[in-house]
Structures are given as C-alpha cells and as structure tokens.
Amino acid sequence: MKKIFQSIVSWFDAHAGLEKLKSLSPKELDKIDWFRAVPFIAMQLMCLGVFWVGFSWIALATAVALYVIRMFAITGFYHRYFSHKTFRTSRPVQFIFGLVGASSVQRGPLWWAAHHRTHHKLSDLPGDPHSPVLYGFWKSHMGWFMTRRHFPTNFKLIPDLTKYPELMFLNRFDIVVPVVLAFGTYYFGKLLQIYAPHLGTNGPQMLIWGFFISTTALFHGTATINSLSHLFGWKRFKITDESRNNPLLAIITLGEGWHNNHHRYQSATRQGFYWWEYDFTYYALKVLSWFKIITHIKPVSQKIYQEVRDQKALKKLIKAGQLTDLLPDPNPLPKNAS
C-alpha cells in the first residue's frame, strides 16, 4: 500500500521518493511500476474516446500541428540541444523549448537528456536503457521507462543542465505542462464551438484529437528511434552498435531516422549528412539561426565525409577484383599443411 502511495505521489512530483529506490535489488528495479505508469497508460486509452467525439478537419489539423511543433521541440531541443549541445542558445529560448518539449509527455528535459547520454555511452551494451538487440522490441520501445530503474533522473550525467532552476522545476513537476496543454485544447475546442460553429468541433473532440491522439502518436513516433532504428535500415558506418539509417523513420521524426549517421558523429547539428537525407529538424534550426535565436551550429566534420569516400573507394576496388587479398580465402590452409 505504501509503495502504491509513493507511486501516486511521484505522478505529481517526479523527484519524490528517489532515495528509497537505492534499497531495491536489481531485479526489483527492473520490474515495471504499473501504478507509476497509470497516467501514461491512461493517455493511450483516452484515444478510444474518438468513437464518442467523432471527427472534424480542424481537430485533425490541430493534432497534426501539435505533433509537428512538439516533435521539433523533442528532436531539435531535447535531443540535439539538451542531450548533445550541438548548438548554443539563450536561457529564455532554452526554457521555452524545454517547456514545449515537456508538453509531449516524455518527461522533463533533464530526465530525457540523462537517459539519452547513457544510451550513447553504452549503445547496445548492457546498461543501455533501450536496446532492441538486448531486450527486444517492446522493452526498448516503451517497457524500459516504466521500470523503477528508469523513473529517476541521473543528475550526475547532466551537470551542465542542473544549474538552471527553471529546468529543474520542469523536470520535477513534469505532469504540469501536459495538463495545461490538455485543458488548453479543451477550451480551444469550446471557443471554436461558440465562435466558429461551422467548423464542427467542440471541447471534448479537440481534447481527444489535439491532446490524446496527437501526444500518443508523438510518443510512438519518437520511440521508434529507440526501437526500430536499431533494427531496420542500413549502416553507412561500421560502428560497434546496431544503429541504422532509415528514411521512413526520418519522415515521422523530422530527420532523426539517420540514426547511424548520428551514432557515428553525435556532435553535428544535422543528422542527414547529405542533401538527399532530408532532415526537417535541421532545416528549422537553420532558420532559427538566421534570426540569431540559436548560434554555433556544428557542421559534420570533413573527416567523416572522407571516411565515407574511403569506404566507397575500397568497396569499388573489391568489386573490381583488385583487392583479392582482402576477400575470404576459399582455400585457407597453406600449401605445405597436410
């Protein structure tokens, strides 16, 4: 009973009761805390409300707009800024995008960045929070963060972020911004019902589409990078983890699908390394940089492009049969062996 109470308290205060986790065994830490995960599960079940509230084009458009804006906050800021510091920005802008990101129900920016830094340190090795190679699809997609082990934020990994009390606040009370957005969508629908009745929407319909459906799609879209992009696609760079480039995932995540590129060279702002590797997050960040809202965008190092050219040249030589000593020997035993 006490445990259930603690789980419920941590819905509202994500930093509460963390000390108690230290006494748990590794097995207990890896168990899913179902009570703690109730808001996340409820969010997905609420999508079924669509059968009661019906459809309107304005509700769909709002859902899509909120998906795109918040996906950009996650990929451009939670990922490329808070986790990797691939560009610089001012404290107010950092806070504003932290706030927009926090409305995505993907916890606070500090929690997100700390787990993501662990992912890059231990990619597809024991200790990686989400590796489909080690734990399978479901655990790497959503099971991992519902375990007791991964509810807390490891502040040791993000000393550059913990110094900002406003970010600490967002991280601690991570339920606040999503709740405000949910109410916002409801009242937006109600206002449209009164002032633009021809649009055919209302409060409950806008709440289901604008908040629940949009946020659930946004969550699963983002999570494909933890699950599918370490399973499906191709590897441009022969690195030790299973990250892959996947053009389909790059569409739904606004450019994060070039995940093998990103694992090879994390400090670049762009993840599509060539013009044909569309990276919508990068284009939007570039626009922000024209207005000096962000600065010091980091390019892909020339060393990396050279690496790609060298690999291509080597493959060509092998194909032309000019590097036979590198091919597997069909007769591996030396002639004098008996």
Q: What is the dihedral of CA 35, 211, 179, 199, to 10 degrees?
A: -140
Q: Between residues 25 and 240, which has the closer beta carbon with respect to Zn ion?
A: 240
- Who contacts 248 (Cβ-Cβ below 8 Å, separation ≥6)? 257
By beta-carbon proximity to Zn ion, the closer residue of 103 and 243 is 243
Minimum gap (Å) between residue 222 Cβ and Zn ion: 12
Binding residues for Zn ion, how many (CB under 5 A)? 1
Q: Look up tokens 């590097």; give the residue.
A: 323
Query: Distance between CA 193 and CA 189 in Å, rounded?
Result: 6
Close Cβ partners of 226 (under 8 Å, ≥ 6 residues apart): 119, 130, 132, 140, 141, 144
Shortest distance in whole angstroms from residue 228 CB to Zn ion: 11
Site for Zn ion in 256-295 (CB under 5 A): none
Smallest distance from the beta carbon of 283 to Zn ion, in angstroms?
A: 19
In the complex with Zn ion, which residue's Cβ is closer, 191 or 267? 267
The 10 Å Cβ neighbour count of residue 19 is 8
Residue 108 or 189: the one with the smaller Cβ distance to Zn ion is 108
Shortest CB 211 distance to Zn ion, Å: 27
Give the residue at shortest CB distance from Zn ion: 243
Helical axes 38-45 vs 214-223, angle rounded to 10°: 120
Nearest to 68 by CA among 327, 229, 280, 308: 280
Question: In the bound complex, what is the minimum distance in angstroms from residue 80's beta carbon to Zn ion?
Answer: 8
Q: 7: Cβ–Cβ under 8 A, 6 or more apart, which residues? A: 33, 35, 36, 38
Q: How far is the CB of 187 from Zn ion (least distance, A)?
A: 36
Tell me whether residue 243 or residue 269 sits nearer to Zn ion (CB atom). 243
String of contacts with Zn ion for each residue 187-226, x by CB under 5 A: ----------------------------------------
Which is nearer to Zn ion, 251 or 317 (by Cβ)? 251
C-beta closer to Zn ion: residue 172 or 230: 230
Judged by CB under 5 A, the chain residues 237 through 256 that form the site for Zn ion are 243
Query: What x/- string results for residues 95 through 134 when contact with Zn ion is judged by CB under 5 A?
Result: ----------------------------------------
Smallest gap from residue 243 Cβ to Zn ion (A): 5
Instruction: With contacts defined by CB under 5 A, name the span among 235-243, 269-277, 280-288, 300-308 that binds Zn ion.
Output: 235-243
Interface ranges with Zn ion (CB under 5 A): 243
